[in-house]
């Protein structure tokens, strides 16, 4: 989790502020689309995981700005004081007039308002970078500090919490169109969304997973018990003194996929992640059987090998065979050298 959201969630090209050359990440497909999801019974655990991921992205040196659009709850606005200057929070949860207008389908609804606000915030980020460049003086230290603060290529992260509020008012196709528009934005390096899969259809869940470059599945003991009995999720267990599991499935840039399982523990206001051990595999879960029964072992011990019929052991049989070959070769050479 920490390795991904701190170092992999934003392209490495964003580290070089002075490099304005074209990058392979300028293509929309290279922008990360991360889906943080939870199943039935998780009781909002994905919100706490997203808050921890938000802190990781704020601490990352590769991010210049994190745009947080809260549609569900304003709790994610609490950011560390040192990184608060990176965070731009837009709270829709407490705007009753906005949701009333969305229900009446006036002014384009919530989706249109969100699209305009994202464009305005990105424009403000660009204007701040231009102002920083124009205000540079001869002080080298101040220039270096301003250069570190200015937005770099794909160094902006957009966080949407959550998609359920959008899916209640518009179709999945419209939501995915918004995500693709954000991916095509050259300043956006990652789009992170949260969704409760228990409140959407299975088809929508599969479409989101196929469109995402990384899926963070949050599980708790209650959510694991909500799966069908024969499902593979029921085999997972939350370790003792842990509060849940996080399964990270990621599509890498080289086309390969990776999967990691971590457990998390909530200590007050902090969330710590621990690498979970590999799941045990029972013999009845594999497609082949490497063990033999007692009857098969007895039958194997009764098998008579060829050397056993002669009453000898394998070593003596090998010695006799070597002696026979030596005598045969000697007689052959004697016959070849004898005179007529």
For 29-40, write each residue's pLDDT tens digit: 468 999 999 988
| Collapsed DSSP state (helix, strand, coil) of residue 295 | helix
Which has more pLDDT, 21 or 95?
Answer: 95
Q: Which residue has the higher pLDDT, 280 or 81?
A: 280
In whole angstroms, give the CA distance from residue 307 to residue 134.
Answer: 93
Name the residue with higher pLDDT: 337 or 144.
144
Measured at the CA of 185, the angle between CA 184 and CA 189, to 5 degrees, comes to 95
- Other beta carbons within 10 angstroms of residue 336's beta carbon come to 7
Q: Where are the alpha helices (DSSP H) in the chain?
A: 2-3, 45-59, 96-103, 109-134, 140-149, 163-167, 172-184, 202-211, 221-225, 294-301, 314-337
Mean pLDDT on 104-112: 70
**So what's the pLDDT on residue 94?**
72
Backbone angles phi, psi at 255, to 5 degrees: 95, -10
pTM of this structure: 0.71
Whether the predicted pLDDT of 183 surpasses 50: yes
CA-wise closest residue to 245 among 275, 270, 215, 269: 275
Share of the chain above pLDDT 70, in %: 66
pLDDT band at 151 (very low <50, low <70, confident <90, very high): very low
pLDDT exceeds 70 at position 80: no
Alpha-carbon gap, residue 128 to 151, rounded angstroms:
9
* Integer Cα distance of 49 and 266 in angstroms: 10
Q: pLDDT tens across 271-303, in order?
A: 999 986 666 666 666 677 777 888 888 888 888
Structural domains in the chain plus CATH codes: 2-12+24-285 (3.40.50.300), 292-325 (no CATH)
DSSP 9: S
Instruction: Tell me what the mean pLDDT of segment 99-103 comes to.
Output: 63
216-246 pLDDT, tens digit each: 999 999 999 988 888 888 888 898 889 999 9
């Amino acid at each position: 989790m920490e390795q991904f959201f701190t170092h992999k969630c934003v392209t490495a090209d964003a580290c070089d502020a002075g490099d304005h050359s074209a990058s392979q990440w300028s293509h929309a497909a290279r922008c990360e689309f991360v889906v943080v999801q939870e199943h039935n019974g998780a009781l909002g655990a994905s919100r706490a995981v997203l808050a921890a991921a938000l802190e990781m992205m704020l601490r990352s040196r590769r991010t210049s700005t994190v745009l947080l659009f809260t549609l569900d709850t304003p709790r994610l606005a609490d950011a560390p004081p040192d990184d608060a200057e990176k965070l731009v929070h837009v709270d829709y949860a407490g705007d009753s007039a906005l949701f009333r207008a969305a229900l009446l389908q006036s002014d384009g609804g919530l989706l249109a308002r969100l699209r305009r606000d994202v464009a305005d915030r990105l424009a403000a980020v660009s204007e701040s970078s231009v102002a920083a460049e124009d205000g540079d003086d001869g002080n080298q230290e101040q220039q270096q500090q301003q250069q570190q603060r200015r937005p770099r290529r794909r160094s902006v992260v957009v966080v949407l919490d959550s998609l359920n509020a959008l899916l209640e008012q518009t179709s999945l196709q419209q939501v995915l169109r918004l995500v693709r528009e954000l991916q095509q934005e050259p300043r956006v390096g990652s789009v992170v969304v949260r969704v409760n899969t228990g409140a959407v259809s299975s088809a929508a869940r599969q479409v989101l997973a196929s469109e995402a470059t990384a899926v963070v599945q949050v599980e708790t003991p209650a959510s694991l018990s909500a799966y069908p009995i024969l499902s593979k999720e029921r085999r997972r267990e939350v370790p003792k003194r842990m509060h849940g599991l996080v399964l990270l499935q990621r599509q890498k840039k080289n086309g390969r996929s990776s999967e990691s399982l971590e457990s998390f523990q909530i200590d007050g206001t902090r969330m710590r992640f621990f690498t979970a051990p590999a799941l045990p595999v029972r013999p009845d879960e594999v497609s082949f059987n490497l063990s033999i029964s007692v009857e098969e072992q007895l039958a194997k011990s009764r098998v008579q090998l060829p050397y056993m019929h002669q009453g000898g052991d394998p070593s003596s049989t090998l010695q006799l065979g070597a002696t026979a070959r030596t005598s045969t070769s000697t007689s052959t050479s004697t016959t070849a050298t004898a005179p007529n």
